[in-house]
Structure 1
Amino acid sequence: MTSKAPSQTQPAKNDRPLSGLRVIDMSRLAPGPYCTMLLADLGAEVICVGGGRAGNPLSTFARGKQFIKLDLKAPEGKQALQALAQSADVFVESFRPGVSERLGAGYEALATLNPGLIYCSVTGYGQDGPMAQDAGHDISYLALTGVLGALGPTDGPPAVPLNLIADFAGGSCMAAFSIMSALFERSRTGKGKYIDVAMIDGAMSLMAMHYPVWGTAILPTRGEGLLNGGNPYYCCYECKDGKYISVGALETQFFHNLWQRLVESEVPDHMDVANWPMIRATFQEKFMACSRDEWSDFFQGTEACVVPVLAPDEIWSHPHIRHRHPNAHAQQVPVLPRFDQQPYPAPETDIEDRTDVILSALGLSQEQIDKACPETERNRIPSRSWPPAIVDTSA
């Protein structure tokens, strides 16, 4: 049993695990919206609140969600948001510390109305500390936590990865995991919870395997060691067609399979670092003899851990990806996880304005709804889309 406030409207039921769960999403950019997309994929009703200068959430993560717009500077807008929070199980926001409080949407205010509310704040640096109010992005959080300093070659600057580590793994996925943990606890205690998800914390947690071995033979410095490019049997090689093949033959049996299949000579001691230059030179020469796809076919089923490096637009034609996710494509990644070997189809994407429908279902009159978000406010709200409008004026 929970102490969630009774709702005048209940989430629509479906056959997914989170059916009946209502989530209010006031987050922006990527980490919060991707977190709530994961919840929507599994059946939660996610209501995204847009409005004001911040605009609307990225449409990239819109599937399975409903969208409303509120003027949170107006008393009626704040009251409408509070009515939503009273009916909700989860509230997600990603403003800098203190902003939600100024909007009347802070944890204390909403928890007073709904003691069973799970409230999750997703920020880069967390709710406290010297940098809590600082601006940042994925690269900033990786830089601060030592992740960026461990990536890339020894003789150059750190390699900048896509914003997957802090934003999505350390932010979105950690937030979703934390929310589900808090909901499980609420099922026992009936009490809500405040969750402070900081992307720097998530990035640090992901380094659990690597912090302890930094400066050792396993990971002596950037670009050297077992797992970050220094190891010749855990890296990528250029092929005849200019494309790349990945090699991940860490264990002895996999390295033996790789060497015997590719080189056909006595297998060297791959754990002896003194042999690494010879192994790398041998692999570089061998892999240049054929194209990437020829090598992929050559090593298929050989237990050598050799896999083609595919560009994002190539993966949808790979037979294994097609088998696992026959309905997925570049604009619609698969729903995860897969339960009982039956993948769920992706929910529909509908970014129509549902302000009137949702607020009226909560018992607000049309006059109250119009004051909560006047027509002029709705029309001026900017849309956020991905990708941004980058231009090249050099031509």
Structure 2
Amino acid sequence: MSRPGPLAGIKVVEFAGIGPGPFCGMLLADMGAEVTLLERAGGTFASQLFGGGRKAVANRGKKSLCIDLKNPEAKALVMQLIGEADVLIEGFRPGVMERLGFGPDTCLELNPRLIYGRMTGWGQSGPLAARAGHDANYAALAGVLDTGRRHGGAPWAPPTLIGDMGGGGLMLAWGIACALIETGRSGQGQVIDAAMCEGAAVLAHGLFNLEALGEWQGKCAIDSSAPFYDVYACADGQWISVCPLEPQFYQTFIKRLGLSEDPDFAGQQYDTTRWPVMKQRLAVIFASSPRAHWEQLFDDTDDCVWPVLSMQDAPMHPHNQARQAFVDIAGVRQPAPAPRFSRTPGSIQSPPPLLGEHTQQRLMDLGLSSEEIARLVALGAVSVA
């Protein structure tokens, strides 16, 4: 029997959305929280983009209650759920929840201990609060997207990771965890205003640090301008990541490549005027053999040389397999819950639900009879799978 996660007993009401909100709910569910997902008939743009039902990884471990938030018959049910919840997650634009009748003032009056998590791109206030945006927009305005450029190239970054997931969903989950601790002491709830733009900036705190020191773009060891912190193409078209940043790792790195006495490399690690020549030569060297050759050459060293794996290959790497870092749920390969706990580990409680799969169960939990549920279905207030 699996042990309960660290958030076991915490009840969460999540209003269905896209991206960071569902990711935040997934993180809480992975850690044992009971997450009731309020979905609307027909699904959302997220279900169209990422696939609904069992393929919606962000909904794993949640219970789906399909409900029409605009139906007068549904409002009392939602308020009942909120009344017994510890956490609420919503990702609408500012003002939408208020117009629906579920604004923070209303909900906190009903449930003073409620932690009301709001997820937006720009925050609940400010000149951009009501404007639309996406991950790259938030990262761009935070000054972070620009740091994702290869030296001298166009700025870009892995999709959804900086603004949506890291700066958004992860920051909101962190805020909720903090608020749960504080509520345990004070007995009072509060509103969390999580803005993806601001969260993206926090993630980049170290880069702002380097910028303040004047060590960025062309003079920085980690912005892709340094030859010893980059990726290189191999003879078979695969890629290798090369990061011997520390001097002791750099020395053994060039030794393995037979470059210890080479004037282009010996004693030149942080001579930025030499970096272009060093990079050109390393590119030729790595292009001379397939990736497997370089993996074998550096397999027993601390030189920080590792293969660039695809999403298909990553789960098959021996280290990831030994750690069981990826799991198969309902036929979908996906990352396992993280981080790991020694005593109350997280776990995937169930596969992603079908739309409305738990409508009947959740309404019966609220004390509704089968006849009352059938009447609500007939009125279009709720739907069942």
Question: How far 1:326 sits from its partner (Å)?
Answer: 6.2
Report the counterpart of residue 300 of structure 1 in structure 2: 299
Q: Per the alignment, do residues 137 and 231 of structure 1 end up closer, same or farther by CA in structure 2, a change over 3 Å counting?
A: same
The alignment status of 1:273 with 2:276, answered yes or no, reads no
Map residues 348-363 of structure 1 onto 2, 5 A cutoff: 348-352=350-354, 353-363=357-367
Q: Per the alignment, do residues 85 and 215 of structure 1 end up closer, same or farther by CA in structure 2, a change over 3 Å counting?
A: closer
Report the counterpart of residue 282 of structure 2 in structure 1: 283
Q: Per the alignment, do residues 86 and 57 of structure 1 end up closer, same or farther by CA in structure 2, a change over 3 Å counting?
A: farther
SS at match of 1:119: strand
Give, as a single letter, the amino acid of the residue that structure 2 aligns with 1:322.
Q
Give, as a single letter, the amino acid of the residue that structure 2 aligns with 1:76.
E
Report the counterpart of residue 227 of structure 2 in structure 1: 232
Q: Per the alignment, do residues 155 and 197 of structure 1 end up closer, same or farther by CA in structure 2, a change over 3 Å counting?
A: same
Map residues 143-182 of structure 1 onto 2, 5 A cutoff: 143-182=140-179
Q: Per the alignment, do residues 199 and 186 of structure 1 end up closer, same or farther by CA in structure 2, a change over 3 Å counting?
A: same
Report the counterpart of residue 337 of structure 2 in structure 1: 335
| Contact 1:80/1:372, CA 8 A, preserved across alignment | no
CA distance in 1, matches of 2:321, 2:3: 27
Question: How far 1:28 sits from its partner (Å)?
Answer: 0.7
CA distance in 2, matches of 1:327, 1:156: 33
CA distance in 2, matches of 1:215, 1:14: 46
Question: How far 1:172 sits from its partner (Å)?
Answer: 0.9
Question: TM-score, normalised to structure 1's length?
Answer: 0.86
Instruction: Find 1:48's aligned residue among 24, 37, 55.
Output: 37
Give, as a single letter, the amino acid of the residue that structure 2 aligns with 1:29.
I
Q: What CA deviation, in whole Å up to 9, does each residue of 1:246-276 have, x standing for no partner?
A: 0111110011111011134322320111221
Q: What CA deviation, in whole Å up to 9, does each residue of 1:75-127 have, x standing for no partner?
A: 22111100000110000000000001111111111111100000100010110
Tell me how large the CA RMSD over aligned residues is: 2.4
Report the counterpart of residue 26 of structure 2 in structure 1: 37
CA distance in 1, matches of 2:123, 2:42: 23
| Contact 1:70/1:373, CA 8 A, preserved across alignment | no
| Contact 1:165/1:203, CA 8 A, preserved across alignment | yes
Give, as a single letter, the amino acid of the residue that structure 1 aligns with 2:188.
K
Q: Per the alignment, do residues 211 and 374 of structure 1 end up closer, same or farther by CA in structure 2, a change over 3 Å counting?
A: farther
CA distance in 2, matches of 1:103, 1:68: 17
The alignment status of 1:310 with 2:299, answered yes or no, reads no
Report the counterpart of residue 100 of structure 1 in structure 2: 97
| Contact 2:217/2:225, CA 8 A, preserved across alignment | no
Aligned residues: 367
Question: TM-score, normalised to structure 2's length?
Answer: 0.88
Percent identity among equivalent residues? Answer: 37
Q: Per the alignment, do residues 350 and 153 of structure 1 end up closer, same or farther by CA in structure 2, a change over 3 Å counting?
A: closer
CA distance in 2, matches of 1:263, 1:68: 63
SS at match of 1:328: strand
Tell which deviates more after alignment, 56-65 or 253-262: 56-65
| Contact 2:138/2:200, CA 8 A, preserved across alignment | yes
Report the counterpart of residue 242 of structure 2 in structure 1: 247
Question: How far 1:323 sits from its partner (Å)?
Answer: 0.7
Question: How far 1:37 sits from its partner (Å)?
Answer: 0.7
In the alignment, structure 2 segments of 5+ residues that lack a partner are 48-55
| Contact 2:40/2:68, CA 8 A, preserved across alignment | yes
Question: How far 1:367 sits from its partner (Å)?
Answer: 5.5
| Contact 1:170/1:206, CA 8 A, preserved across alignment | yes
| Contact 1:74/1:372, CA 8 A, preserved across alignment | no
